[in-house]
Structure 1
Amino acid sequence: MQRNSKSADARAKRGPIVLVGMMGVGKSTVGRRLAARLDVDFVDADEEIEKAAGMTISEMFERYGEAYFRDGERRVIARLMDGEPKVIATGGGAFMQEETRALILDHALAIWLNADIDTLVDRVSRREGRPLLKGKDPRAVLTELAAIRNPVYALCPIHVKSAAAPHDVAVDSIMEQLSQWP
């Protein structure tokens, strides 16, 4: 596999890279492609949470509420912060939890994938099962969440725009920034 940068490869080999951002920004898709380019494993934190709980995230929200889900999410992400090189995609709210955010910032390189509201609305409309959107106007919810979350996501040391373009454009941007990362 051809790698774009020895520096990016060296950074990935030192520990996890964690992608954070709003639902629909492409964390899982970009994460899989980034992991392939860096020749490291990819882990979707939401999938790991579902495996650990034996139920879907929607079921957790319905049965036990968001606080229960967030506690399980924190425990799973803590387990994933094992120092091994990998790319981890988190759920949109994970980085908003103070303890989870501290784990990520202390034990990984956090990358904020950002997109405009139109792009997010288009992308979330393609997939069911997003508990925070259930029965609500996606544009209104995403706009409100972005106003609250974006200042917190901005604490990530690397920021990448995920535009209404192929996800490889975002991966290229990440690779470029990783090549310049100490």
Structure 2
Amino acid sequence: MSLQCAPDKTITLIGLMGVGKTTVGRRLAQALDLPFRDADEEIERAAGRTVSEIFADFGETGFREGERKVIARLLQEPPMVLALGGGAFVDPETRALIKAQATSIWLTADVDTLVARVNRRDTRPLLRGKNPKTVLSELLDKRTPAYAEADVHVDAGGSSHQGTLDRIIEALKTLHQHNV
């Protein structure tokens, strides 16, 4: 199940934490024969510290500045599948860069599904010491207007990663046909 031709620009996956951007992104990259990159991993590599450490030392504002620079650099590279951190697309500068240079896919899921997924790991700085359902609900309310600007919207809740991948491939085929 592939597109007729390889994408000519990077595909970015956006959405809240726990929606499956990294897991599905790896599968999408394999299906499209593109490299996969995770923006948070690239930020950690560039900074020489973890996302949690960056948040602790520089706050969210400092993190977003570094994130914007790393994403801008990645968008200059050959096409790839790029999983973004949940807040990246909310930043107006980052969103403008992505809209100009990449195809954005918003992966959506209901809050209960996200809570179940994020509770599996304790690596989310924005959730530390807080009620995940409350935080995720607030983030969804706050970020939806920005996420809604994505080129493609795909439901990633309630089904397997393969089901999500299949929906992304179909959405990309449709987008590609409209843009030809």
Note whether the superposition's TM-score is higher than 0.5: yes
Question: What CA distance in whole angstroms lies between the structure 1 residues aligned with 2:139 and 2:10?
Answer: 26
Question: What CA distance in whole angstroms lies between the structure 2 residues aligned with 1:85 and 1:94?
Answer: 19
* Alignment correspondent of 1:113: 107
Q: Deviation digits for residues 95-145 of structure 1, max 9, x if unmatched?
A: 011101111111000010010001100000011111110000000000011
* Alignment correspondent of 1:20: 14
Question: What CA distance in whole angstroms lies between the structure 2 residues aligned with 1:112 and 1:154?
Answer: 7
Say if 1:19 and 1:111, in contact at 8 Å, map to a contact too.
yes
* Alignment correspondent of 2:38: 44
Q: 1:128 and 2:128 equivalent? A: no
Residue 4 of structure 1: CA displacement? 2.8
Amino acid at match of 1:40: L
* Alignment correspondent of 2:137: 143
Q: 1:4 and 2:2 equivalent? A: yes
Amino acid at match of 2:31: R
Question: What CA distance in whole angstroms lies between the structure 1 residues aligned with 2:122 and 2:56?
Answer: 15
In structure 1, stretches of 5+ residues that fail to align are: none
Say if 2:3 and 2:32, in contact at 8 Å, map to a contact too.
no
Residue 83 of structure 1: CA displacement? 5.2
Detail structure 1 runs of 4+ shifted over 3 Å in the superposition.
Answer: none
RMSD of equivalent CA atoms? 1.0
Q: 1:180 and 2:174 equivalent? A: yes
Say if 1:15 and 1:83, in contact at 8 Å, map to a contact too.
no
In structure 2, stretches of 5+ residues that fail to align are: none
Residue 168 of structure 1: CA displacement? 1.1
Say if 1:83 and 1:107, in contact at 8 Å, map to a contact too.
no
The sequence identity of aligned pairs, in percent, is 54
Question: What CA distance in whole angstroms lies between the structure 2 residues aligned with 1:55 and 1:5?
Answer: 37
- SS of 1:128's equivalent in the other structure is coil
Question: What CA distance in whole angstroms lies between the structure 2 residues aligned with 1:4 and 1:143?
Answer: 35
Question: What CA distance in whole angstroms lies between the structure 2 residues aligned with 1:125 and 1:74?
Answer: 27
* Alignment correspondent of 2:69: 75
Residue 171 of structure 1: CA displacement? 0.7
Residue 165 of structure 1: CA displacement? 1.9
Q: 1:54 and 2:52 equivalent? A: no
Amino acid at match of 1:76: V
